[in-house]
Structure 1
């Protein structure tokens, strides 16, 4: 346990550095899934490591151990007490950050769905009379696409097809869940913040590729992105998945070429997340062994 319990933290330090690489070398759909899975595994492993480090503070309660058996054995101290106390405080911060992230996600979803109130249940497209060019995919049952009148006016008919195909891809592939998972992982472990940003960008790239495939024209897709971005300007962003958000210039540049197809970086990222989980499991086994030895 003396070493295993700290390994997930090392994985959390390495994962952000490889997230940019996987974004360039792996197709957006696979890269988004793999990064999200690795982030969730790493966040869970680091959080569990904090739990284990906090649990070592039980070694400071010898009466409990002595009462378990009259000739009870002393419990070995696997980590310094200061580290256990720091882990306890960090665990409290993790709980607070995750709760705050969950509340923010719920507020955003409620605010967007309120904009769609009053429309029939089977309505997919909702057009809002607004001078700010925006478009959002709103997950739920049913999922809806919210587009402002200003955005529709800014686009040509073929470009509107791109926009709708893009937002429909968000709903079809449940990109909201992918981004939410990455967001909660980053809330549990702030070191994973760059991974969350990479996942959010990749789901937009994923939707771009889906739109280009549906429309059958990558040039038109890139032009629709550029026109929408110029129209939106510096409009206020939200936490929702939006057509004009997330590094539009990089998305346009990516559409000028084909999506990458390498698989090895994805396998490496998954392995990194798996290693963090395995070492956390190993630390758990070590701690259980220490407690069992003291109580037997």
Structure 2
């Protein structure tokens, strides 16, 4: 337990360090899935490691220490007491951060759905009369299908072929449930702040994924790149950070990627990233076994 319990934290740093490389070298759809799964597993293992560190305080309860000494047993000391104590406020901070992140995600979706209120349930495209050029994919909820919200300002800024790109892009977000992926990574980064770079990379990748889907749908990568560039140049204020908007997240890099052509899957790098996400869980599992033996020794 002296080493395993810290493994998820160390691997969080490593995953954060390699996530930009994965985002640049691996096809967006595969890279987004792999990084999301790895981030969720790593964040869960990190939180559990904090729980294990805090649980070692049980072995420092004076009554249990005295009982162990009376029985001729040496009280175990798997981790320094200061670290075990620090794990308690760290867990409270994690709870607050996850709550705030979940509330922000829920609030953004509620606000976007309110803009679509009054439209028939089977309406996919909602056009809002606003000069501000914006477009969002609004995920479904409670049996209500997802919708595409586009302002009149955005439609006026694009040519007919570019409008098809826009709709195909937002439809890809809904089809592949990118909102769930973004939410999962946002909560993982809230639980483990070391994973913040992974969240940024996944946010970029889901937009690249939708770009590629749009390019396939219209059959023209040049038109897709032009639509993205034009939307970015005419867009006004930034959309909510939780929303899946068309002209956001490193538009220049996305345009360049569309012009360069699709990336290969690179399965070896993707598999290595998945393995990196599984290692923290294995380390936390081994630390859990050590803690159970510790508690058996203290309480036995």
TM-score between the two structures when normalised by the length of structure 2: 0.95
Q: For residue 189 of structure 2, what is the aligned residue in structure 1?
A: 186
| 1:115-264 superposed matches below 5 A | 115-140=115-140, 141-232=144-235, 234-238=236-240, 239-261=242-264, 262-264=266-268
Answer yes or no: is the 8 Å Cα contact 1:98–1:188 preserved in 2.
Answer: yes
TM-fit CA distance, 1:65: 7.2
Q: Is the CA contact 2:136–2:246 (under 8 Å) kept in the aligned structure 1?
A: yes
- CA apart distance, 1:293: 2.4
1:130–1:149 CA contact under 8 A, matched in 2 = yes
Counterpart in 2 of 1:113? 113
Report how far residue 257 of structure 1 moved: 1.8
Aligned length in residues: 295
8 A Cα contact 1:124 1:144, kept in partner: yes
Secondary structure at 2:79's aligned position in 1?
coil
Normalised by the size of structure 1, how large is the TM-score? 0.96
CA distance in 2, matches of 1:9, 1:148: 43
Q: Distance in 1 between matches of 2:74 and 2:97?
A: 36
| Residue 4 of structure 2: aligned partner | 4
Return the alpha-carbon distance in structure 2 between the equivalents of residues 245 and 260 of structure 1: 21
Counterpart CA distance in 1 for 2:283 and 2:247 is 41
Return the alpha-carbon distance in structure 1 between the equivalents of residues 78 and 203 of structure 2.
39
Q: Do the aligned residues in 2 keep the contact of 1:65 with 1:72 (CA within 8 Å)?
A: no
How well do the aligned residues superpose, as a CA RMSD in angstroms? 1.6
CA contact (8 A) 2:11 2:280 kept: yes
| Unaligned runs of at least 5 residues, structure 2 | none
Choose from 271, 282, 286 the match for 2:275. Answer: 271
For 1:72 and 1:160, locate their aligned partners in 2 and report how far apart those are by CA, in whole Å.
Answer: 78
Deviation string, structure 1 residues 228-283 (Cα, Å, up to 9, x no partner): 11111x42321200000111110000001222211221111111111111001110
Q: What is the CA-CA distance between 1:63 and the residue it aligns to?
A: 2.3
Distance 2:271 2:162 in 1: 36
Q: Distance in 2 between matches of 1:64 and 1:125?
A: 65
The yes-or-no answer on 1:30 pairing with 2:34 is no
Shift of the alpha carbon at 1:66?
Answer: 7.0
CA contact (8 A) 1:66 1:72 kept: no
> In the alignment, does 2:295 pair up with 1:291?
yes
Q: Secondary structure at the match of 1:256?
A: helix
Please give the alpha-carbon distance, in whole angstroms, between the structure 2 residues aligned to 1:294 and 1:55: 12
Q: Are the counterparts in 2 of residues 72 and 294 from structure 1 also a CA contact under 8 Å?
A: no
Please state how far the C-alpha of 1:77 moved relative to its aligned partner.
1.5
Query: After superposition, what is the alpha-carbon deviation per residue over 1:150-172, rounded to whole angstroms, capped at 9, x for unaligned?
Result: 00001111110000000000000
1:43 and 1:291 map into 2 onto residues whose CA distance is 25
